[in-house]
């Protein structure tokens, strides 16, 4: 584990080599206690987007970005280097990588988790992007400098905090709306709270820009058995976030 200012922290995991094909937007389900120390509470595994990925000749290493919000994330924060955890993955539908830019990446708080890996994928494909990163306060802008470096030289990082203290004061949708009005972007990719994603879907429709969002819907199993992560769709049916998502087109979800 790599320490971060609480309530945010990261977990680094050594996983099978064939997990190197993980794409931005996919996730894993991770047990909160070591295999050697099973516990009934919390009982369910927790879902985390893959935040970063690195490869070696013999293995793959993934990194997860977490925020302490309850018993599960608090238990994971107590894990130590060398402990073995039960992890199920890789799971879910990833983001669709565009052929060209510029595009806008939008993250709210811990919603930056899949956007870091997406930024790396865009850099590797030569797709330019601006990264819009918002939070309630400066502590919610994890890895801000690294994200800014990834966006350069063709793009930039725009940060906002509702309480001030980092970046501009206000909501991240405000500077994004200005640039959408200038027809700057070919697409929007986002992850964050439901309210943020709903507002982004409105902006995308208003300006005729397609977009995708990685939803933060709570999941019980991660593979469609429990039916606990149903998402209302515009088509009138419900889609399971773990199988049909977590990445959905903005215009597919009934926000």
The enclosing H or E element of 55 equals strand 46-55
Strands 46-55 and 188-191: unpaired
Residue 40 pLDDT greater than 50, yes or no: yes
- pLDDT band of 3, cuts 50, 70, 90: very low
Neighbours of 117 (CB within 10 A): 23
Residue 39 pLDDT greater than 80, yes or no: no
DSSP 8-state secondary structure symbol assigned to residue 163: S
Residue-wise pLDDT tens digits, 94-145: 999 999 989 999 999 999 999 999 999 999 999 999 999 999 999 899 889 9
Q: How many CA atoms lie within 13 A of 120 on its CB side?
A: 15
pLDDT confidence of residue 163: 86
pLDDT confidence of residue 5: 44
Residue 1 pLDDT greater than 50, yes or no: no
Alpha helices in the chain (DSSP H): 71-77, 112-125, 144-151, 173-181, 194-207, 241-244
- pLDDT band of 59, cuts 50, 70, 90: confident
Residue-wise pLDDT tens digits, 176-232: 999 999 999 999 999 999 999 999 999 999 999 999 999 999 999 999 999 999 999
SS3 state at 129: strand
Arithmetic mean of pLDDT, 36-46 = 79
pLDDT confidence of residue 96: 96
pLDDT confidence of residue 6: 62
Question: Peptide bond preceding 136: is omega within 30 degrees of 0, i.e. cis?
Answer: no
Residue 240 pLDDT greater than 60, yes or no: yes
Mean pLDDT of the chain: 92
- pLDDT band of 26, cuts 50, 70, 90: very high
CA distance 201 to 3: 34
Arithmetic mean of pLDDT, 67-91 = 91
Model pTM score: 0.92
Residue 2 pLDDT greater than 80, yes or no: no
């Amino acid at each position: 584990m790599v320490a971060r200012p609480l309530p945010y922290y990261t977990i680094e995991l050594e996983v099978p080599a064939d997990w190197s094909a993980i794409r931005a937007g996919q996730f894993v389900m991770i047990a909160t206690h070591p295999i050697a120390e099973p516990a009934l509470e919390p009982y369910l595994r927790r879902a985390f987007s893959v935040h970063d990925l690195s490869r070696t000749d013999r293995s793959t290493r993934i990194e997860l970005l977490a925020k302490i919000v309850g018993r599960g994330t608090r238990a994971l924060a107590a894990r130590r280097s060398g402990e073995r955890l039960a992890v199920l993955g890789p799971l879910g539908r990833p983001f669709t990588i565009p052929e060209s830019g510029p595009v806008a990446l939008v993250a709210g708080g811990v919603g930056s988790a899949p956007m870091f890996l997406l930024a790396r994928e865009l850099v590797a494909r030569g797709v330019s992007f601006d990264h819009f990163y918002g939070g309630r306060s400066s502590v919610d802008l994890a890895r801000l400098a690294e994200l800014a470096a990834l966006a350069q030289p063709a793009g930039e990082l725009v940060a906002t905090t509702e309480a001030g203290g980092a970046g501009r004061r206000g909501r991240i949708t405000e500077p994004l709306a200005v640039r959408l009005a200038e027809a700057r972007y070919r697409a929007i990719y986002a992850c964050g709270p439901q309210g943020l994603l709903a507002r982004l879907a409105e902006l995308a429709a208003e300006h005729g820009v397609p977009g995708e969002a990685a939803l933060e819907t709570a999941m019980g199993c991660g593979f469609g058995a429990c039916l606990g992560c149903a998402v209302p769709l515009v088509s009138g049916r419900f889609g399971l976030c773990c199988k049909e998502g977590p990445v959905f087109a903005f215009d597919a979800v009934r926000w």
